[in-house]
Amino acid sequence: MSFQNDNSHNEPAEPPIVVLLGLPFHDLTLKEALEECNRALKGNSPEYFATANVDFTAQAYKDNDLRRILFYAHRIVCDGMPLVWASRILGRPLRERVAGSDLVPRLFEQCARNQHKIYFFGSDEKTLAECKECLEERYVGIQIVGYESPPMGNVEEWNNEEIARRIRSCEADLLLVALGCPKQERWIYAHHNETGAQLSIGIGASLDFITGKQVRAPEWMQKIGMEWFWRMASNPKRLAGRYFNDLIFLTFAVFRQKLSLLRRKTRPDASKPHPTPPPDFDLIEWPSDVERANVNSAPFPGSITKAILLDLSAIEFIDSSGLGRIAALGRLCRDSNQNLVLLNPSTAAKSALASVRMDSLFPIAMSKSEAAELLAKNNSATAITQKEKNHIRLRFEGTLEAATYDQMMDELLLAIQKGGTNVIIDLSKVDFIDSRAIGGLIKIKRELAHQKRELFIDNAKESVRETLRLLRIDKLLPEYPSSVEP
């Protein structure tokens, strides 16, 4: 099926998306964000929301795992006036800042009114106890059904199955996680489906505002967008360096994205033929200009039953609204358990995608045969098990992430049953690994340690090694030493 000449100009089911510095922000007001929270709390499947500020975007820009986590959050709102200002410079202004410190208190009011149960995870026991006491005094009828302070160390090393079980036993509707970015985002992404909560949100330092440990800026400073300055002035030793680095990042990233918008081509690339999609794809062809004024003219499917091949060869100009439409399509594909492959992106499309790091989120193919190969590769975490004398070598192919976690664990458990002193995980054919999959490898490593056996990784690509370094797991999952005889 092809969507280029029919009337399939459906609108995404989610609110309008503006891609800003690599993240797909939903253009929501505070009131609309609360309505989205209420919708999720009454829904049938777990969701997670994120409130992202400049520091989030800076971290996600260089952290592929965090960027994917935030990219696929069910809703992501802008918690920072500098980002609102940046959206204006880039020609697609977000209507307002939705601060987590504004959203959370109103969410408490809504939960008390609708009898939704709340659970806190994060911070320390003293702060959590004070927070529970403050909220029960402030909001009549509020139900805080539990709280827990996590252990020290990396998220992936915790007994997360047991933590999720304890949360699930409290039958919470709303899970608020206060671990700070990126810990809280990684934990929520990996485990929100296991806690039983309908909605999970990372709330960072909001607990300190509730208990009075931190004081918000005067209202007049909030209104002019200078609350960040108040926070920095209140704790310069901790925040001044971070905010300075964030400013440098913001300047660079806005300039790069703005530059890509100025590169409007005079005509589309001439040498690229319109392909016929293979049977396992639906083809969508977009027009030459996809920007704020005409973004709805870009075809968008109402439902997805096959992988989508999005032909971007005709693109002469695409802005943050157009990128937002790609993001919405990618998110719909993920929700439908299908893949999105970008086909023949023009120079203008490549530049725009690269400027916001979206080129690392979707496979790109130059032909239908290449697209078919990419689809086969990304559909599963296929594994080949070999026995090498007294070792077991397990080679994975494709991506290791939340979507392929169960399959990966099944393969690992089968492999370790075959014996061997060491289990070697060959990652030479793995392009991406996320924190959920890394947590699974650590779980297997612990199980092997009880049996006095070892787990090593081998032949990992630099992008995978970088993820392990960012998570500070590279020492916990050591590389297979060449000195060890198989």
Q: What is the mean pLDDT of the chain?
A: 87
- HSE of 59, CA atoms in CB hemisphere, 13 A: 21
For the ranges 43-57, 246-260, 386-400, 420-434, the lowest mean pLDDT is seen at: 386-400
Residue-wise pLDDT tens digits, 245-283? 888 999 999 998 988 877 654 444 444 555 555 567 889
pLDDT on residue 5 = 41
pLDDT on residue 266 = 44
Strand bridging mode 391-400 / 422-433: parallel
Backbone angles phi, psi at 141, to 5 degrees: 90, 0
Compute the average pLDDT of residues 51-59: 93
Alpha-carbon dihedral sign for residues 133, 135, 136, 142 = negative
Q: Where are the domains of the chain?
A: 17-229, 281-377, 380-470
Listed in order, strand segments (DSSP E) in 92-233 are 117-122, 143-148, 174-178, 199-202
Work out the percent of the chain whose per-residue pLDDT is above 90: 50
pLDDT on residue 404 = 84
What residue type is assigned to position 196 of the chain? Answer: G
Highest mean pLDDT among 355-359, 413-417, 420-424: 355-359
- Residues sharing a CB contact under 8 Å with residue 2, sequence separation 6 or more, in sequence order: 277, 282, 283, 284, 285
pLDDT band at residue 383 using 50, 70 and 90 as cut-offs: low
Rounded to whole angstroms, the Cα distance separating 50 from 94 reads 16
* Topology at the third CATH level for domain 281-377: Transcription Regulator spoIIAA (3.30.750)
Place domain 380-470 in its CATH homologous superfamily.
Answer: STAS domain (3.30.750.24)
pLDDT on residue 75 = 96
Residue owning tokens 């590279």: 474
